[in-house]
Chains A and B, each alone.
Chain A
Amino acid sequence: MKIPILKIKNCLIASIQFEVDDRTVMEFQDNLLERIREEDIRGIIIDLTSVDIIDSFIAKSIADVTKMARLLGARVVITGMKPALAITLVELGITLGDIKTALNLERGLARLEKMIEEIDR
């Protein structure tokens, strides 16, 4: 299965809707970066509303794709993390560093818009 990636204006929204394995995450990384380049994307939302579990590998992949997107001039906001997911990640020892997050998609988009404005300044 592929993680669906939708486009709105110059942003991509990827909603992870099923339990992902390593390969799916790696493909997702490639697809996302490829689309940033091909479609002149400035912002990305990765929505985790339906995600129950993230282990260290998947967390690292998400952190990596955020940094890679930044190198291509795009910004990433992670949205919709459940409390159980946040608790488990922190206890596991994963803080996701300086990754930008928002409670839900709406706030995430608002945050992303501001971040994109800042790039253009």
Chain B
Amino acid sequence: MDEIIIKIRNEWDIVAARQEGRQLAKELGFGEVDQARIATSISELARNIILYAGEGEIILQTIQNNTKEGIKVRAIDHGPGIKDITLALSDGYTTSNGLGSGLPGVKRLMDEFSIASKVGEGTIVETRKWKR
């Protein structure tokens, strides 16, 4: 399935990314609350890219399993990577003084969440939301 790639280089790209995400979620028939969940998650992931890596990409994709449709959101950067992923995923933890409430929130907003990170190479966050 086609991918929508949004380059994240500055704060305006954050708005663009979440608008694209919301639009795609709407087209797929997600309800209003799920549209907001998806768009907010994209916003947080894009903000993390700006804060910690400087630049990267948000990639949106329509997905399908046997029974339902969904949306996949990936955030990819080649920044410094995350040293302690368990810590980064714990609530209330942030290295940026409360900007970007971080990954635990995104994990709650989406249905599936995985992260791979290597120090010095970058981080990939992959999340999915399925239509109910």
| Contact (A92, B47) CB under 8 Å given A52-B22, A52-B36, A57-B99 | no
Closest residue of A by beta carbon distance from B37: A88
Inter-subunit contact B40/A55 (CB<8 Å): yes
Contact of B105 among A22, A57, A84, A91 (CB under 8 A): A91
Q: Measured between alpha carbons, how far is A54 from B101 in the docked complex, in Å?
A: 12
Inter-subunit contact B19/A19 (CB<8 Å): yes
Closest residue of A by beta carbon distance from B91: A93
Q: Is B6 an interface residue (CB 8 A)?
A: no
Inter-subunit contact B44/A60 (CB<8 Å): no
Q: Which of B8-16, B61-69, B70-78, B115-123 contacts A (4 or more CB under 8 A)?
A: B8-16
Per-residue A-contact encoding for B71-107, CB less than 8 Å = 1, 0 else: 0000000000000000000011000001111001110
Q: Do most interface residues of chain A lie in helix, strand or loop, or is the interface mixed? A: helix
| Contact (A84, B11) CB under 8 Å given A55-B18, A91-B105, A94-B101 | no
Chain A residues near B18 (CB-CB < 8 A): 19, 53, 55
Which size bracket describes the interface of B in this complex? 20 to 34
Q: Is A87 an interface residue (CB 8 A)?
A: yes
Closest residue of A by beta carbon distance from B31: A84
Inter-subunit contact B40/A60 (CB<8 Å): no
| Contact (A91, B101) CB under 8 Å given A19-B15, A22-B14, A23-B11 | no
Q: Is B1 an interface residue (CB 8 A)?
A: no
Q: Measured between alpha carbons, how far is A56 from B48 in the docked complex, in Å?
A: 11
Q: Which 9 A-B pairs have the closest CB atoms?
A: A55-B43, A56-B101, A92-B105, A22-B11, A84-B36, A84-B33, A88-B36, A93-B105, A21-B15
Further contacts, 7 of them, CB under 8 A, given A57-B100, A88-B36: A52-B35, A56-B44, A83-B33, A84-B35, A92-B105, A92-B109, A93-B91
- Interface residues, chain A, CB within 8 Å of chain B? 19-23, 52-57, 60, 83-85, 87-88, 91-94
- 25 residue pairs bridging A and B, Cβ less than 8 Å apart: A19-B15, A21-B15, A22-B11, A22-B14, A52-B36, A52-B39, A53-B18, A53-B43, A55-B40, A55-B44, A56-B44, A56-B98, A57-B100, A60-B98, A60-B99, A84-B35, A88-B36, A88-B37, A88-B109, A91-B37, A92-B105, A93-B91, A93-B101, A93-B105, A94-B105
